Amino acid sequence: MSQSNPATVKHDTLFDKPFTTPLDKAARFSFDEQVVACFPDMIRRSVPGYGQVLAMLPIFARRHCKYRQQSDSSQRVSRIYDLGCSLGAASMALAGEFDPQDLQIKAIDISPAMTTEAVTLLSDNYPEHDIEVMTADIRDVKFEPCDMVILNLTLQFLPVADRVAVLEKIYAALSEGGILVLTEKTHAFDEQYDAWLVERYYDFKRANGYTEMEISGKRNALENVLITDTLDEHHARLDQVGFARHLTWFQFLNFVSIVAFK
Ligand code: GEK
């Protein structure tokens, strides 16, 4: 089994330059071939804490999925969903830390450009792992029983009205003792705090080499595509779908990650 670091596996990364001319500013953001080509570079430079969150996924999986294997005399394989998998970075982070026989990963994304590339990356790097990549809308997927679900920066792209239904399906599919890891961009309820967080987020992007035109182009393209909730709204929704315990385990500016326990 290949033991590559997920941050350095075979991504032929093009530099992220999708919003560099004034006309590009009008483009609505979509996960097409142009985005796929520069995606690993874009997400690392524009999501604070992206690498740290990915690195913790196998650590969480080891605690929660291993427990399930030991408590089950049939030694069944742990099943993990990676929803909105893009190029499969979360699946790769997991595969890199588990033996092939211990995990079954189901990676799903609505964008065929993403899943086509994810299949290549995952099969090149982890040919022996049981990783199924599916092109589907997670709102339509019927989930099988599972031990861990990863929603890494994906729920924010669903219409707000559809979020509860997806979380309800996830809750129903999770085994007792299983976890959901929900990572999202958020906004603060307080306008002044929000303004501070957003400004410091743009400073973060500037420090990572983005120009003013790229920052404003991306902001316009994501308008009405990426719709953030507040942290309180996320926790209220998790309560609503039945998770009795959920904890914000990570926050970096306006990006948060929550673990919800079933
Ligand atoms: C990572 N998790 O690298 N059904 C399935 N996929 C969807 C849907 C949907 N309804 N809507 C959007 N997507 C990844 C990063 S990126 C985050 C996730 C970002 C997919 C979309 O095609 C895209 O690949 C992904 O959600 C969001 O750990 O680009 O900021």
- pLDDT at 1 (0 to 100): 36
Q: Could you give the count of Cα atoms lying within 13 Å of 49 in the half-sphere of its Cβ? A: 18
pLDDT for position 220: 87
- Span 136-150, pLDDT tens digits: 999 999 999 999 999
User: How many residues does this entry show for the chain?
Assistant: 262
Residue 14 lies in a domain: no
* Per-residue model confidence (pLDDT) at position 27: 58
Q: Is residue 245 within 8 Å of residue 261, measured between CB atoms?
A: yes
Q: Does any domain span residue 215?
A: no
Residue-range definition of the domain harbouring residue 238 = 48-187+228-261
The whole-number pLDDT of residue 10 equals 43
Is 25 part of any domain? no
Residues with CB under 6 A from ligand 1: 31, 43, 84-86, 89-90, 108-111, 114, 137-139, 152-154, 157-158
- In tens, the pLDDT along 111-145 reads 999 999 999 999 999 999 999 999 999 999 999 99
Q: Is 70 exposed, middle or buried (0-12, 13-18, 19+ CB in 10 A)?
A: exposed
Q: Which residues contact 228 (CB under 8 A, 6 or more apart)?
A: 156, 184, 185, 186, 187, 254
Give the model confidence (pLDDT) of 188-238 as tens digits: 999 999 999 999 999 999 999 999 998 998 888 888 899 999 999 999 999
- DSSP-derived 3-state class of residue 183: strand
Going from the Cα of 40 to the center of ligand 1, the distance in angstroms, rounded, reads: 13
- Total tally of structural domains belonging to the chain: 1
